[in-house]
Homo-oligomer: A and B are copies of this chain.
Amino acid sequence: MSAANRKVTIVEVAAAAGVSFGTVSRVINGDAHVRPETRQRVLEAMRALHFTANRQARRLAGGRSNSVGVLVPDLGTGYIGEIVRGIDAELSLSGYDLILYTTHRAPAKEAEYVANLVQDMVDGLLLVLPRNPTDYLSTLAQRGFPFVLIDHQGTGADCAAVAAANWQGAYNAADALIRMGHRRIGFITGALDLGAAVDRLDGFQTALRAHHIPDEAELIYQGTFHQTDGYTAACHFLDLPQPPTLIFASNDVMAMAAMDAVRERGLRVPEDISVMGFDDIPQAALVRPALTTVRQPLEQMGRMAVQMLMEIFGDPAVSPRRIELPTELILRDSTAPPKAQPS
């Protein structure tokens, strides 16, 4: 109501409530040693003065800042965006603030810098899709700083992590499409320095083997998860003497680009060739034909990561778990049984 011109501090609240600032601090931090009636008085004073604790000072003095840092590689693909949505939603439930860092600019060295920097700002860290995190992960772990990895198939080191069942998703999808009749499948990999990409490729190849389909080199195109790869990969496949009947891209973005390439050749999806992706980003359902894909529970991964972090906050000694969330094949309109089946 009244336009307090300066910042309201704990001391002013104390004065208003007729107690010392120490007591106010105790009330804020929920310390048990404060008489209910005193607490009430303090609470009222806080409300009346529109008091909000200064997080800087809090954290500096050794308390919690009630915010967690989120490191993401970028914001471009929609894929990250979904994860962040989940994180944000869950975080706000717990009354934490989100501090977002994009690290697309940060090669090797900057990583440690960022980690360092972030450390005295936030209570914990959420690392989305860390690229080569070995550098600072050890530092973090060793200092006992709370963090959880999202979508990183790590070195197996015992870090708290949440990921999607990439291998399983790729396997199941390939299996289903093979049963549908496809035997020549062009696969576009992701950036193979990412565990997720390797897992998807591996799941795919295992399904092939399970059906006794030979693993032909010309049907594996090495991509990097970027849109352009989808386009060039599709061109490569279509130029083959015997093109595949299905293109399976390691993510949706590449799959969509592949569809464009197919159409540019005057071919139709899925009548002439089927296309599928991985991720189920929002636009996968919007694109025409709607994209068959493997759904990663992106938003839920974010939520889960936050929950794990809160668990760690509660008990720092808790042994780090790695949670793998299930993926699900989403059949839409971009896939169909192959039209001409020689076999």
Contact = CB atoms under 8 A, between A and B. Distances in A.
A74 B7 CA distance: 28
A76 interface: yes
A81 B75 contact: yes
Interface stretch (A31-39, A49-57, A165-173, A215-223): A49-57
Contacts of A85: 74-76
A28 interface: no
Interface in A257-295: 282-283, 286-289
Interface string A107-148: 000001100110111000000000000000001001100000
A178 interface: no
Interface in A55-85: 55-57, 59-60, 65, 74-76, 78, 81, 84-85
B116 A88 contact: no
A100 B102 contact: no
Contact of A92 (B84, B102, B283): B102
Contacts of A99: 97, 99-100
A50 B289 CA distance: 53
Contacts of A60: 54, 56-57, 60
Contact of A75 (B88, B121, B139): B88
Contacts of A75: 81, 84-85, 88
Contact of A3 (B54, B142, B256): B142
A323 B100 CA distance: 27
A261 to B, nearest CB: 13
Contact of A113 (B52, B56, B105, B289): B52
A5 to B, nearest CB: 7
A286 to B, nearest CB: 6
A98 interface: yes
A282 B78 contact: yes
A273 to B, nearest CB: 16
Contacts of A7: 119-120
B113 A102 contact: no
Contact of A52 (B50, B65, B117): B117
Nearest to A252: B286
A100 B84 CA distance: 11
**Most chain B beta-carbon contacts within 10 A, residue among A52, A76, A256:** A52
A128 to B, nearest CB: 13
Interface of A: 3, 5, 7, 50, 52, 54-57, 59-60, 65, 74-76, 78, 81, 84-85, 88, 92, 97-102, 105, 112-113, 116-117, 119-121, 139, 142-143, 256, 282-283, 286-289
19 contacts: A3-B139, A3-B142, A7-B119, A55-B120, A56-B57, A56-B65, A60-B60, A75-B81, A75-B88, A76-B85, A78-B282, A97-B99, A97-B101, A97-B117, A98-B100, A98-B102, A256-B286, A283-B287, A286-B287
Q: Shortest 4 CB-CB distances between A and B: which pairs?
A: A288-B288, A283-B283, A56-B56, A100-B100
